[in-house]
Structure 1
Amino acid sequence: MSRLALLCTFVLLTLVSFIGALSLGAISIDLLDVWQALLSYDSRHLEQKVIVELRLPRTILAFLAGCGLAMAGLILQTVTRNPLADPYLFGISSGASLGVVVLFTLTGVQAGLALSGAAFIGSLLAMTALIVITRTQMSNQVESLVLAGVALSFLFSACTSLLLYWSDPQAISAIVFWTLGSFSRADWQTLWLPALVVSLCIACMLLFRRTLNALLLGDENATTLGVHVTKLRLGMLLLSSLLTAVLVAICGGVGFVGLMVPHIVRFFISQASTAGLLATAFCGGLFMIWVDVIARSVLDNQELPVGVITAAVGSVFFLLLLVLRKRSSPSM
């Protein structure tokens, strides 16, 4: 399949997914009404108001979150040459969540930029700790990265739980629901930040595609090809932390997307190409759109946390991935 045909296919799938997501939910809306609301919005009609003011920003946020988390996972898997890398498993998401909970419990601030800043500080703390820990384990870096990331994730989660224990009981339920992941906070005023950061991430990945591919050959080979490995790796880790922090601040904890989507795309197309990078972003966005539809449709008058669904699917995928890796490795 040519690049143009692949791009057209993903654009068509995205359009169909958006229309389907806008029509499905607590109340079902006809597809004709969806098109009418998008083409000629009239706030006097309740169904059109639900579509434009509630479901559309939520669906856009879900798509952006899926794109961003998939690209964050791809960045980590590339710069660490670790196929199990993921912002959730590496503790970056937990660090970002801790930063948001600290800000919320101490000040009560819920502004988007403030939460994103706190989440970025928390994610940087997690990434710095991970780098410091694994620098002493270079001979076994792949395994130590995963183990250190899981340990940091539990550590930050424990600190978050301790803060919640001492928090105002009236605020605990809201914080707990947020930490489980949800797109219910989506609105038109806050969409610009994740859209900007995700677009910046995709542009950087496309711009540095060749140098990132060189990292997959090993640090020595990449240096021979003229790549400044340390600067590139730190810059990409910083970009991944920023991307994860912004999405966590708005959506809460959504795990395993960065692990699953790059692996699934890798089965069908090489991610070393421009088409592969774009396919990863599109697949992540489409996946999260339908996860959100399930979250708000599977139960009557209730909404499942998005993070619960992705964790359930992702944990099974992670176990299957470990089994397949073990079977494909040569026996001793």
Structure 2
Amino acid sequence: MKFKWILLVLLALSAPVLSLFFGAASLSADTIFQCVFAQCADPVDQAIFMEIRAPRVLTGFLVGAGLSVAGATLQNVTRNGLADPYLFGVVAGAGLGAAVAALLFNSPAGSEAGFPAQMYSIALPASALAGAVLAVLLVQVLSHTTFGRRIEHMLLAGVAVSFMLSALSQFLLFVGDPFAANQVVFWLMGSLARVEGWYAWTMLLIVAVSTGVLYLYGPQIDALLLGDESARTLGVNVTRMRVLCLLLCAALTAAIVSYCGGIGFVGLMIPHIVRHWLGVTSRTLFIGCALLGGFFMVWVDVFARTAFTGREIPIGIITSAIGSVFFLLVMRQRQT
């Protein structure tokens, strides 16, 4: 077990460092060393490293870590190995917010109405975040008033809200400006191309705080795996603990989706791999998922921006292609 942890830590630490060498612009080892520990001799290299490549690598690691930890938490508190952070309609809600922002700030109709196009870069993530939060609130209200408080009903409410919000966003894109619609569709596929330095540091704070809180409640989350009645006999407030975990996962996922778009299946795949490799206890699972999820997302992003010269593949396409195959393998394993 100790060897596995050492290997995982080495992989997680080496991935961001090695990925700095990959990109449209070629940076030598000496240049990267100077940029990290001093200042690049060339101002262009300095700008490329500090404003584009380093924030993107850091954000990629944190996005992978955040989605993986959220997925592991949902799978434990729902006792459903196929649970995923996007079950609560977060992506659909973010897509609706992005569609509204595009129609208001990045279309001829919005310009005629007096909405400034310069605000689009700020309005897009802000509106997407608002839409993601709206989706989470709708799921919470429906699951606690209409369907009851059973956890499987909450998951079904998330599916229903996801379809409803997706239909609304698709209608807006259908009646809106084609150019704005194309931008939203590309954004929904998931990408780190728009990442800036401030977002990387913001994500570091969000992921660190969320993972830290979940780590502190690790024993209580483990108790939920035994069943609600067993958890209550151990002194765990099941409803409060489950709602806290769900809200943390939803907020973490919403923060990621609001800026990076839809990146699916990461929260499904990584927890399964870590659980099989390191164990099922929540604290072990959270740390392992943060490390392996970050490692995975960094290299997916490297492939996305280097596979084709002059073009970038949306990350969501790659993770969905890998995740769908992984999902089928998990389903087949459960049937055998």
Does TM, normalized by the shorter one, top 0.5? yes
Verify: 1:170 aligned to 2:179, yes or no. yes
Which residue, out of 211, 230, 248, partners 1:202? Answer: 211
What's the counterpart of residue 18 of structure 1?
Answer: 16
Secondary structure of 1:111's counterpart equals: helix
Match of 2:274 in 1: 265
Query: Deviation at 1:190?
Result: 2.3
In structure 2, what is the equivalent of residue 57 of structure 1? 55
Query: Aligned in 2, Cα 1:119/1:61: closer, same or farther, shift over 3 Å?
Result: farther
Are positions 1:277 and 2:289 aligned together?
Answer: no
Superposition deviation, residue 95 in structure 1: 2.4
Instruction: Give the corresponding residue for 1:330.
Output: none
Greater shift after overlay, 247-256 or 82-91?
A: 82-91
For 2:299 and 2:56, the matched residues in 1 are separated by: 12
The aligned runs of 1:182-201 (5 Å cut-off) are 182-201=191-210
- Cα distance, 1:154 vs. partner? 3.4
Alignment of 1:139-288 (within 5 A): 149-272=158-281, 274-288=283-297
Q: Which moved more, 1:116-125 or 1:284-293?
A: 116-125
Partner of 1:122: 134
Supply the AA of the counterpart residue of 1:165.
Answer: F
- Determine if contact 2:90/2:132 at 8 Å carries over to the other structure: no
Structure 1 stretch displaced more, 207-216 or 146-155: 146-155
Matches within 5 A, 1:61-76: 61-76=59-74
- Contact preservation (8 Å) 1:95, 1:126: no
Q: CA 1:181–1:89 in structure 2 vs 1: closer, same or farther (change >3 Å)?
A: same
Cα distance between partner residues in 2 of 1:234 and 1:223: 15
For these two proteins, the number of residue pairs brought into alignment is 322
Residue by residue over 1:283-303, the C-alpha shift from the partner in whole angstroms, topping out at 9 and shown as x without a partner, is 111111011001100011000
CA distance in 2, matches of 1:21, 1:208: 34
Aligned to 2:108: none
| Structure 1 residues 53 and 43, CA gap change in structure 2 (3 angstroms) | farther
Q: Partners in 1 of 2:155 and 2:163 — Cα distance?
A: 12
Q: Following the alignment from structure 1 to structure 2, what is the Cα–Cα distance between the partners of residues 262 and 279?
A: 8
| TM-score (norm. length: structure 2) | 0.86
2:99 to 101, 120, 137: 101
C-alpha deviation, 1:129, in angstroms:
6.2
Cα distance in structure 2, aligned partners of 1:224 and 1:36: 58
For residues 6-26 of structure 1, the C-alpha deviation after alignment (integer angstroms, 9 at most, x for no partner) is: 555444323321122110122
Equivalent position of 2:32 in the other structure: 34
Cα-to-partner distance string for 1:25-80 (whole Å, 9 max, x where unaligned): 22343333322221222263433432222111011111111011111111111111
Q: Structure 1: how far apart are the matches of 2:164 and 2:128?
A: 21
1:100–1:118 Cα contact (<8 Å) kept: no
> Which amino acid in 2 is paired with 1:280?
C
SS of residue in 2 equivalent to 1:23: coil
Q: In structure 1, how many angstroms separate the alpha carbons of the residues matched to 2:307 and 2:224? A: 43
> Once the two structures are superposed, what CA deviation does each residue of 1:86-116 show, in whole Å capped at 9, x if it has no partner?
0234433222332343344346654277346
Distance 2:100 2:32 in 1: 40
Q: Deviations over 1:130-181 (max 9, x none)?
A: 635994595xx65x66665445433332222112122233322222211110
- Output the aligned Cα RMSD: 2.5
Helix, strand or coil at the partner of 1:84? coil
Secondary structure of residue in 1 paired with 2:321: helix
